[in-house]
Structure 1
Amino acid sequence: MRSIMGEARSAAGTTVDTVAALRAQLDRLQGRRLDVPVLPVPQALASLLPGGGLRPGSSYSLGRSTSLLFSLLARPSQDGAWCAAVGMPHLGAEAARAAGVDLSRLVLVPDPGERWLAVTAAVADVLPVVAVRPPARAKDADISRLAARMREREAVLLVQGPWPQTEAMIDVGDPSWSGLGDGYGILEGRELTVTVTSRRFPVPRTGRVLLPDAAGGVAGAAGGMPGRASAAPVRTGLRAVG
């Protein structure tokens, strides 16, 4: 009996090792190894993302929050990476600047028309970070071709909306503003729950962040530890006006 149980444990261990080896090999072929350099993001988001940043050659599915998009573009642009926003005609350049995005390294393609996917692919040929808001669902074959081009060029694709073959899905919720009293005051910051879902995690990662914080960027909220939602939002810095 002991011999049979030992053989079963050994076989199970071998199977797990084989699956892990195959997954690592697939990740290497797809350019998705965890140990490759990543594009930096604010620390409050780095602790939630696979690998701690934006992985070259990967795609990320974002919620519709423009603040979230700006927070992901800010550090790469500040560090010298050119970024593009495709299909976002109402994107506010001044709001992007206030969130820390270097406008001198931001290219806007407000209305690419029906060929938005081809435009996105062309932009990804020359720029390392491309954000796009798809106006319609693309064909699976076209998405696969774009994913292959992103891996070849080692570019990052940030998609506002659902998207297959993503490294992670990032969204925000449960907003709470600070700075308002009983109907008066000055808005000083917004606290949100960021949720990151990835095939690399057994469960989604969550954390409370200030987005925007007092400086217009993103920072960790008090008690908002990664991996769990924080307790009730803390309201600080109330100032009466009038």
Structure 2
Amino acid sequence: MVAVPSRLEPDASGPRPVLEVVADLRARVDRLQGRSTPEPLPVHPGLAGLLEPRAGGTYTVASAGLALLMLAGPSAGGAWCGIVGAPELGVEAAIELGVDPARTVVVPDPGPRWLEVTAALVDVLSLVVVRPPEQVGPGQAQRVAARLRSRGSVLVPWGAWPGADAHLSVSEPRWAGVGRGHGHLRSRQVKVAVERGRAPARTRTLWWPAADLSVRPVGPGEDRADRRPPDVLAQDEAPVTDAAWGA
């Protein structure tokens, strides 16, 4: 991943504020990727048909796993993406979901000017995940929204954000693989909900992860619990934990 140093970066002339580093990075990305008329962003197969992020939109998520899932679709499709203020997001889990580390800009600790850093990245990247360290006011959110619309980018706050277009959450986790006091946790089903204003939430049940560690919708005829008996698990199957996926 393209890491932007936390807070300050020293060089021959002294420390450089993170905003200057971001500005240099923006120029580099602009040279590599022109910003023409924005096209609809691709989504991860687990969200296809459930959510279609529009250019200029803001979509809040309730967990690290959902933040990575939102990042994975555009990144796997070749878009440049960014992560601001969320060092908890696991690189390994991101790559397994399809995130391209070579096109992902990470600012783990942007400092008190985190909102300016986020706005600067929004100007050049297709999608930016941000974990706000403090409450965001309506005026601040409106200014960022104006930049999103003008640049055709998408913002994914991990947490509350005024005026967001939709909110994604995960509930009802059910693990499969343990029975009669033994076995490995090896697959899980969860319900993903997308809420828009006062409209009824749209939901989908996903394998997250499936036995092969993929994230995908539960198909027709698939049981809530894995059909394979837990006492016939292969000895080399490693357990999977919630912490590994952060959903």
TM-score bracket relative to the smaller structure:
0.7 to 0.9
> What CA distance in whole angstroms lies between the structure 1 residues aligned with 2:185 and 2:102?
29
Task: Tell me which protein shows more helix as a share of its residues.
Answer: 1
CA distance in 2, matches of 1:91, 1:202: 30
Are the equivalent residues in 2 in contact too, given 1:67–1:211 (CA < 8 A)? no
Q: Which structure has the bigger radius of gyration? A: 1
> 3-state SS of the aligned residue for 1:96?
helix
* Residues 23-51 of structure 1 deviation map (CA, whole Å, 9 limit, x = unaligned): xxxxxxxxxxxxx95211133312222xx
Task: Compute the displacement of 1:215 (Å).
Answer: 4.1
Matched, 1:206 2:203: yes
Contact 1:99-1:216 within 8 A present in 2 as well: no
- Quick one: which of 152, 172, 176 aligns to 1:178? 176
Structure 1 residue runs of 5 or longer lacking an equivalent are 1-35, 225-229
Whole-angstrom distance in 1 between the partners of 2:154 and 2:213: 24
Match of 2:31 in 1: none
Quick one: which amino acid aligns to residue 235 of structure 1?
Answer: D
What residue is the counterpart of 1:128 in the other structure? Answer: 126
Query: Paired residue for 1:59?
Result: 58
**Structure 2: gaps of 5 or more residues:** 1-37, 236-247
Aligned-pair distance for 1:91?
1.9
Deviates most, 120-129 or 37-46: 37-46
For 2:42 and 2:93, how far apart are their aligned partners in 1? 21
Q: So what's the TM-score if we normalise by structure 2?
A: 0.72
**TM-score calculated relative to the size of structure 1:** 0.74
8 Å Cα contact 1:209/1:218 also seen in 2: yes
Q: Which amino acid letter does the alignment assign opposite residue 75 of structure 2?
A: S
Say whether residues 1:39 and 2:32 are aligned partners: no
Per the alignment, residue 217 of structure 1 pairs with 214
Written as runs of structure 1 = structure 2, the 5 A alignment for 1:47-196 is 47-49=49-51, 53-64=52-63, 66-196=64-194
1:90 positional shift: 2.1
Q: How many residues align?
A: 196
Aligned positions of 1:21-36 closer than 5 A:
none
Question: Where does residue 224 of structure 2 map in the other structure?
Answer: 233
Aligned in 2, Cα 1:182/1:156: closer, same or farther, shift over 3 Å? Answer: same
Q: Provide, for residues 151-207 of structure 1, a one-character-per-residue CA deviation record: whole Å limited to 9, x for no partner.
A: 1110010011111222211100110112222232232222101111114x8311111
Identity within the alignment, %: 41
Asked if the contact 2:71/2:81 (under 8 Å) is kept, the reply is yes
Deviation at 1:123, TM superposition (A): 0.8
Task: Tell me if structure 2 keeps the 8 A contact 1:58–1:166.
Answer: yes
Contact 2:137 2:162 in 1 (8 A): no
Q: Post-superposition, which runs of at least 4 consecutive aligned residues in structure 1 deviate over 3 A?
A: 214-217, 239-242
Give the aligned CA root-mean-square deviation in angstroms: 2.2
1:88-146 CA-to-partner distances (Å, cap 9, x unmatched) read 12221112112221111111110111111111001111111100010101222111100
8 Å CA contact 2:188, 2:208 repeated in 1: yes
